[in-house]
Structure 1
Amino acid sequence: MEPSGSTTTVTPPTDNHALSPTGNCFPCELNDKARLRRFLCYGSEGDSYTARDECRPSIEGTGALLAMLQEGRGGEVVEEIRKFVKDGHAAGPHPLLFALALCSQHSELKTRQAAFKALREVCRDPAHLFDFIQYKKELREGMKCGIWGRALRKAVSDWYNEQDAMSLARTVTKCKQRAGWSHQDLLRLSHTKPADDTTALISKYVTKGWKEVQTTYANKENTEEVVKVLAYLEAVETVKHSCDEAEVIHLIEEHRLEMEQLLTEHLKSKQVWRVLLKDMPLGSMMKFLGKMTADNILERGSSDVTEVCDRLRNEAELKKSKVHPFDIFLATENYKMGFSPRCKTTWVPHGTILHALDSAFYGSIKNLEPVGKRFVVAVDISTSLTSVVAGTLVSTPTAVAAIALVISRTEVDTQVLVYSGGAVVPCTFPREMSLYDAVSELIKTPGGGTDCSLPITWATENGKAVDVFIVLTNKPIWACNAVPEETLRQHREKSGTFSKLVMWSLTSIGHTVADREDVGLLNICGFDTAALNIIRNLAQDLI
């Protein structure tokens, strides 16, 4: 962790860096590897990330990736994919899966081999595997040859054979199909030869069905592991045809069955929900708080409410679950609304649950690893801040307060500012400050016109070297009165620091003002958990 006010020593990459007039060597221009990392991180080689954008990648957006493959750097591309998966740097899985599919179909043998070797590591669950196969199919469309060559058949076979028996049984019964593919398709097309008895059992179950399994294994002398898997699959099959609430509950408790393995009819039972709640992952539990309240599963003053609140306040469980503070923040705001716009469900929020969610939000911040950089978080208060964040029902004042609070509590050297109308006002964010108090602190200063360069000018004039500026505005970025790139260059020159700038618009989608050739500039539109992770990547020169 750097001490406050220290000067960062800039170590530029080996290419695409420029010498400034003051002698500082700054890596200002994007090279192919930097563009590749951006694509792997958030699905675009450009400078803009749109929150909650689940568009599937296309070949048109992979210029740098294709250039690196053409230069014989396929192994380097696959290694970057593996790193992003291992370290959790990507905003979502699709860019990684698409890039791996491209590498697996490249003309160079070593690149293809590296891609297939990384398949199990990148495709951690069946949904990823199905998407990977679909991307390969789409990339092959228009070509005479198919995708199921020997290398892919072996890679898919290994994906199934290398898994623990019970994990594989859960996998094939929870996520059966996606993107037009099923486990039955993949096992058949890959000509998978099971590596052991339990994999053979699961393979037969998937391809031939439960009746065939019963016939085959009824009179055999089975190993203990096979008996265990048989019992699990029998429970899954029994629950699919059972209307007996007591039987369903017993099977859930005995075999730890999950929601995906139940029928819709089962989820109309309060008792079924209560037994599911005991082992439900924290993230899923928060997602269904509204439904469980609406259906009187979480009745006011009940032991179920107490159990939910205890889990939300449990720091050990928060750490184990790795739930991000922004996920808890969004869950809190959605629960607080008292209705779901998707399914038209309404409920009266329990105050005790809201207090527990609030506690979970602060507790989860402790689990974030600091990047050890100097941050300025600047909030635009030029308007009344009465709008909502794009794609959500969350108000912009609450969202910017959550952002400022999380960053200031995670990073020791963080200065929070509010700016408008030619004025910049520093804010104090003590560690014990609540989200409600943070909102009050940010909106107490009267507004004026928007000038996004003011926070950078303030830092330069006050001799404060900054590693990352995060300029938050509730206006569309393109509508701002000033573009701050030149102000940022002046700050870099004076401070001797390669400062990064994140222009974060909470209300607009897909607009940009940044210099696309400057590796230190990034635009974010909207709000989600991935946005903060992307900023952390930028701060650490990972994108």
Structure 2
Amino acid sequence: MKKHLKKFHPARPPQSEPLDERQVKNSAGGYAWAIDQWALLERFLILGSEGGSYYATEHKLTRENALNVIACINADGVRAVDTIVAISNSGRAPKNETAIFALALAASADNTATRQYALSQLPKVCRTSTHLFSFLEYVKGLRGWGRSLRRAIGEWYLAQSPRQLAYQVVKYRQRNGWTHRDALRLGHPKPRNSVQDVLFKWVTQREASTLSHDERPSDDALTMIWAFEQAQRAQNVEQLVQLITDYDLPREAIPTNYLKDPRVWDALLVRMPLMAMIRNLSNMTKCGLLAPGSDATREVVKRLRNANY
């Protein structure tokens, strides 16, 4: 009798069969309750498809989800873009890359209004130069460099405060095969003030810029560029540490040959953001800064324990 019940039990059908017509077959070969395209969009934006899953390859997951993103964009472009922006800004996703990809799809939509709306939201999703360069790489394979796209790129730069822009061009000089020179030549923004003009010229015509001279400029934003140039020509560690301390230079502004010195990392650690600190724990350990019982180690532990840091 038990053998028959194993083969046929209306109350407990096997996983290989649906409970009712509302279930759909999943990647594992079993059946699960279907979710609508908008829930699937949110799931993709949060979880992404990197690495695939146990039952589906990364390629398959990315393709399936990309097609669903396009379906959502075609169904309601504004809602799709708003969903992308909301999840990108809420911190619900561990990585922003999927939201950038989805925004690039929206910026390449057939509907003109959807494209324009997606491009207007570019600064909200692409908050750093790394994000912008990722967007440019995605969109390069999806559409042409039309006027609206070029304008959006230019507006991204013009919307930055001078200090923010100086920090961006120093910290994120190159990512994903793109540089600020590439982006500025595409966007071709017209400077709205003299500081922007100097910054743009430094990026596109660095060899002709006066910011590499020894005289420090009076403007705060231009001073960061000047400090970066001074760091590239630093003659010793002491000079470099002083520049880091005085002008809050990020790690990316430091010449590679100095990144083995614990004094440099000690100066960087003072104002290093939390995520940057976590990413560089191995580097600070390798150079000898983080050692058992050291002041730097205690500072790192203190920050990691501080929920409000």
TM-score by length of 2: 0.79
Superimposed CA distance per residue, residues 71-116 of structure 1 (whole angstroms, 9 cap, x where no aligned partner): 3x11111111011112122232222111111111112111011101
Q: Does 1:87 align with 2:90?
A: yes
Q: Distance in 2 between matches of 1:148 and 1:293?
A: 45
User: Shift in Å at residue 226 of structure 1?
Assistant: 6.2
Q: Distance in 2 between matches of 1:121 and 1:78?
A: 11
In structure 2, the residue matched to 1:29 is: 34
In structure 2, the residue matched to 1:307 is: 299
The root-mean-square deviation of aligned C-alpha atoms, in Å, is 3.1
User: Shift in Å at residue 205 of structure 1?
Assistant: 0.7
Are 1:165 and 1:198, in contact at CA under 8 Å, matched by a contact in 2? yes
In structure 2, the residue matched to 1:189 is: 186
Q: Distance in 2 between matches of 1:35 and 1:158?
A: 32
In structure 1, the residue matched to 2:307 is: 319
Evaluate the alpha carbon distance shift between residue 69 and residue 300 of structure 1 in structure 2; reply closer, same or farther with a 3 A threshold: closer
Are 1:201 and 1:226, in contact at CA under 8 Å, matched by a contact in 2? no
Are 1:57 and 1:94, in contact at CA under 8 Å, matched by a contact in 2? no
User: Shift in Å at residue 216 of structure 1?
Assistant: 11
Amino acid at match of 1:270: P
Once the two structures are superposed, the pairs formed by residues 158-237 of structure 1 within 5 Å of their partners are 158-209=155-206, 211-214=207-210, 227-237=219-229
Evaluate the alpha carbon distance shift between residue 241 and residue 166 of structure 1 in structure 2; reply closer, same or farther with a 3 A threshold: same
Once the two structures are superposed, the pairs formed by residues 456-467 of structure 1 within 5 Å of their partners are none
Once the two structures are superposed, the pairs formed by residues 58-207 of structure 1 within 5 Å of their partners are 59=63, 61-71=65-75, 73-140=76-143, 147-207=144-204
Match of 2:160, SS state, is coil
> Which structure shows the bigger proportion of residues in helix conformation?
2
User: Shift in Å at residue 154 of structure 1?
Assistant: 1.3
Q: Distance in 2 between matches of 1:106 and 1:78?
A: 11
Evaluate the alpha carbon distance shift between residue 285 and residue 216 of structure 1 in structure 2; reply closer, same or farther with a 3 A threshold: closer
Q: Which of 264, 273, 278 in structure 1 is aligned with 2:265?
A: 273
Amino acid at match of 1:79: D
- Structure 2: 5+ residue runs without aligned partners? 1-20, 24-31
- Structure 1: 5+ residue runs without aligned partners? 1-15, 19-26, 141-146, 322-543
| Number of equivalenced pairs | 277
Moved more, 254-263 or 195-204: 195-204
Q: Distance in 1 between matches of 2:151 and 2:196?
A: 15
Q: Distance in 2 between matches of 1:196 and 1:217?
A: 22
User: Shift in Å at residue 168 of structure 1?
Assistant: 0.9
Q: Distance in 2 between matches of 1:300 and 1:62?
A: 48
Q: Which of 45, 48, 62 in structure 2 is aligned with 1:43?
A: 48
Q: Which of 292, 299, 307 in structure 1 is aligned with 2:284?
A: 292
In structure 2, the residue matched to 1:434 is: none
* % identical equivalent positions: 34
User: Shift in Å at residue 296 of structure 1?
Assistant: 2.7
Amino acid at match of 1:93: N
Q: Distance in 2 between matches of 1:122 and 1:56?
A: 25
Are 2:245 and 2:267, in contact at CA under 8 Å, matched by a contact in 1? yes
Once the two structures are superposed, the pairs formed by residues 421-432 of structure 1 within 5 Å of their partners are none
Match of 1:62, SS state, is helix
Are 1:239 and 1:262, in contact at CA under 8 Å, matched by a contact in 2? yes
Evaluate the alpha carbon distance shift between residue 37 and residue 170 of structure 1 in structure 2; reply closer, same or farther with a 3 A threshold: same
Q: Which of 282, 304, 321 in structure 1 is aligned with 2:274?
A: 282
Q: Distance in 2 between matches of 1:287 and 1:130?
A: 21
Amino acid at match of 2:102: A
Q: Distance in 1 between matches of 2:44 and 2:301?
A: 39
Match of 1:194, SS state, is coil
User: Shift in Å at residue 201 of structure 1?
Assistant: 1.4
Q: Distance in 2 between matches of 1:284 and 1:197?
A: 32
Amino acid at match of 2:308: K
User: Shift in Å at residue 38 of structure 1?
Assistant: 1.9
Are 2:231 and 2:254, in contact at CA under 8 Å, matched by a contact in 1? yes
Amino acid at match of 1:90: A
Q: Distance in 2 between matches of 1:157 and 1:136?
A: 15
TM-score by length of 1: 0.47
Evaluate the alpha carbon distance shift between residue 139 and residue 251 of structure 1 in structure 2; reply closer, same or farther with a 3 A threshold: same
Q: Which has the higher contact order (CA 8 A, sep 6+)?
A: 1
User: Shift in Å at residue 177 of structure 1?
Assistant: 1.6
Q: Which of 246, 255, 274 in structure 2 is aligned with 1:254?
A: 246
Amino acid at match of 1:33: W
